């Protein structure tokens, strides 16, 4: 019998066989927290094989602290008041992947069960997709990310106070053949990594900015697409650091450079026929009634769901006119100045691009919010506002298209959103909104360079 390949793994029995075939003493298991940060550990083979059948437990503090391991003081799910107990997780057999720089080591993903599943990002997306399935639709998606590369290390950036960092390459050279050819070894390594770890890159090129790249990940069903996006962000950072470099997915790392986006492309298929639910050859822009309602839902709920697309303090420094980031809840056809870009095509390519998200957002939450809002539009048969033709930044917009300007405001809008509670559940909305309020409060404890420069002497 030939040796199993990771992409052949579908069941717990398959997973058991490949681990035993390779004679692994330990297996790597990881999952994603509320901020989209991957956590996990090496698990002894015997324990892993047991966990395949019965699950395993992990301290629920990973759902009760922020991206700096600071404990939330305002969430109900876990905390000192609960004693930070273990929460159950299940291993996802078909998530098996090679880790090319760890010999025969295998990586498996996991997700929370029980009460923790109500706030688990991957679990949330799965529930949204089940909602779509009940409506008769299968959802496909893909993510594309911009990220800056630096000739720095975790030690050097701290020594420099994150100032005067040396970018991988200088100057603004979007789509540069020079840059991608001079550094072709890097590009080839990243492409190879993406193929081996099953988050294949469809296109890779420089973007406008010193050392910035953009990668479009190949389309897949929406849950797998979110897995690919989350793993891509994690392992790009790992790959870069192993090469003595650093990659950042901050929404905006410098006031002198454009921000970094995390766009998502979505399409729906009719489950029975397998045909596009978005494509109608007889309608303007080949845009079906279903796609129109889907876009309308996304547009209507964008201000209420913004915290899921712009989850950090830094996210809001990107949402300014003239830097390729949308500033209102707008839509247009093949218009990159709007928040929603309808892309006409064929039965295979008709889709919508949700352009609001920044690279720092959790892929599972971005997908859940973008799809959930669209399904809500279909359910309610909503109609979009008039599309924007031309420059969306120069158009006077109705008040309801305005987006929250701060993370705190976004958290309040999410908390007050009845559609959010209907789609995502009270437990998730309360928990996530509280984590964003915490993030804002943590920021308020600090004095920025701007404040010192502006007020220290003159006021």
Choosing from 91, 117, 143, the residue where a domain stops is: 117
| Whether residues 287 and 409 fall in one domain | yes
Task: Judge whether residue 1 has pLDDT over 60.
Answer: no
The pLDDT, as a whole number, for residue 320 is 77
Shared-domain flag, residues 293 and 214: yes
Last residue of a domain, one of 96, 117, 138: 117
Interval 324-343: pLDDT, tens: 678 899 999 999 999 999 99
Whole-number Å distance between alpha carbons of 41 and 165: 32
Q: Which domain holds residue 149?
A: 128-453
pLDDT at res. 258: 86
Mean pLDDT of the 236-247 span: 98
Same domain, 324 and 415: yes
Q: What was the pLDDT predicted at 186?
A: 97
Q: Are 106 and 132 part of one and the same domain?
A: no
Q: What is the mean pLDDT of the chain?
A: 96
**Do the domain assignments include residue 10?**
yes
**DSSP string of 164-228, one letter each residue:** S--BSS-S--TT-HHHHHHTHHHHHHHHHHHHHTT--EEEEEE-SSTTEEEEEEPPEEHHHHHHH
Taking Cα atoms as reference points, which of 174, 150, 171 lies closest to residue 162?
A: 150
Percent of the chain at pLDDT exceeding 90: 94
In this structure, the answer to whether residues 147 and 200 fall within a common structural domain is yes
Domain count within the chain = 2
pLDDT in tens, 104-136: 999 999 999 999 999 999 999 999 999 999 999
Whether 136 and 48 map to the same domain: the answer is no
Which tens digit of pLDDT belongs to each residue from 242-260?
999 999 999 999 988 888 9
d(CA 142, CA 148): 20
Task: Check whether residue 64 and residue 156 sit in a common domain.
Answer: no
Mean pLDDT on 314-333: 86
**Residue written as token pair 């909104």:** 433
| 368 and 429, same domain (yes or no) | yes
pLDDT band at 4, cuts 50/70/90? confident
Q: Could you tell me which residue, 12 or 357, shows the higher pLDDT?
A: 12
User: Is residue 458 in a domain?
Assistant: no
Q: Are residues 82 and 201 part of one domain?
A: no
Q: What residue ranges in 255-312 does DSSP mark as E strands?
A: 262-270
pLDDT grade for 387, boundaries at 50, 70 and 90: very high
- Secondary-structure percent of the chain, ordered helix, strand, coil, rounded to 5: 40, 20, 40
Say yes or no to pLDDT of 2 above 70.
no
Q: b or e along 284-301 (b: 16 or more beta carbons within 10 Å of the residue's beta carbon)?
A: ebbbbebbbbbbbbbbbb
In a domain, 413, yes or no: yes
Whether residue 232 is found in the same domain as residue 365: yes
Task: Pull the structure tokens for residue 403.
Answer: 């987006």
380 and 267 co-located in one domain = yes
- What CATH number is given to the structural domain containing 79? 3.10.20.70
Judge whether 326 lies within some domain.
yes
- Do residues 61 and 198 share a domain? no
CATH number of the domain that residue 174 is part of: 3.30.590.10
Residue 98 has pLDDT above 80, yes or no: yes
């Amino acid at each position: 019998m030939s040796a199993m390949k990771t992409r052949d793994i579908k069941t717990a029995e398959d997973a058991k066989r490949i681990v035993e075939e390779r004679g692994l003493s330990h297996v790597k298991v990881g999952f994603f927290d509320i901020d989209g940060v991957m956590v996990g550990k090496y698990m002894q083979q015997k324990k892993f094989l047991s966990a395949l059948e019965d699950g395993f437990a992990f301290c629920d503090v990973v759902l009760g602290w922020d991206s700096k391991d600071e404990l939330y003081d305002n969430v109900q799910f876990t905390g000192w008041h609960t004693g930070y107990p273990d929460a159950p997780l299940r291993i996802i057999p078909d998530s098996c992947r090679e880790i090319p720089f760890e010999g025969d080591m295998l990586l498996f993903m996991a997700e929370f069960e029980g009460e923790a599943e109500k706030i688990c990002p991957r679990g949330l997306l799965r529930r949204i997709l089940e909602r779509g399935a009940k409506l008769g639709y299968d959802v496909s998606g893909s993510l594309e990310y911009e990220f800056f590369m630096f000739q720095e290390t975790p030690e050097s950036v701290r020594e420099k106070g994150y100032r005067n960092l040396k970018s991988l390459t200088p100057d603004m050279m979007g789509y540069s053949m020079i840059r991608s050819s001079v550094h072709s070894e890097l590009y080839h390594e990243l492409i190879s990594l993406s193929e081996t770890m099953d988050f294949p890159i469809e296109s890779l090129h420089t973007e406008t900015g010193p050392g910035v790249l953009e990668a479009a990940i190949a389309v897949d069903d929406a849950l797998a697409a979110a897995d690919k996006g989350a793993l891509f962000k994690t392992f790009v950072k790992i790959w870069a650091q192993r090469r003595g470099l650093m990659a950042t997915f901050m929404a905006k790392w410098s006031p002198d450079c454009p921000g970094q986006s995390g766009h998502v492309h979505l399409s729906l298929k009719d489950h029975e026929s397998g045909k596009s639910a978005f494509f109608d050859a007889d309608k303007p822009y080949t845009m079906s009634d279903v796609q129109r309602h889907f876009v309308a839902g996304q547009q209507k709920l964008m201000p209420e769901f913004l915290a899921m697309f712009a989850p950090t303090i830094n996210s809001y420094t990107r949402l300014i006119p003239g830097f390729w980031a949308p500033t209102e809840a707008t839509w247009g056809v093949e218009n990159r100045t709007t928040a929603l870009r309808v892309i006409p095509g064929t039965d295979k390519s008709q889709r919508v691009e949700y352009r609001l998200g920044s690279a720092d957002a959790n892929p599972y939450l971005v997908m859940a919010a973008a799809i959930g809002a669209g399904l809500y539009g279909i359910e309610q048969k909503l109609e979009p506002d008039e599309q924007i033709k031309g420059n969306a930044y120069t158009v006077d917009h109705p008040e309801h298209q305005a987006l929250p300007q701060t993370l705190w405001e976004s958290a309040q809008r999410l908390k007050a959103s009845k559609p959010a509670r209907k789609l995502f559940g009270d437990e998730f909305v309360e928990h996530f909104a509280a984590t964003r309020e915490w993030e804002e409060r943590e920021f308020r404890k600090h004095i920025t360079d701007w404040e010192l420069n502006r007020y220290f002497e003159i006021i």
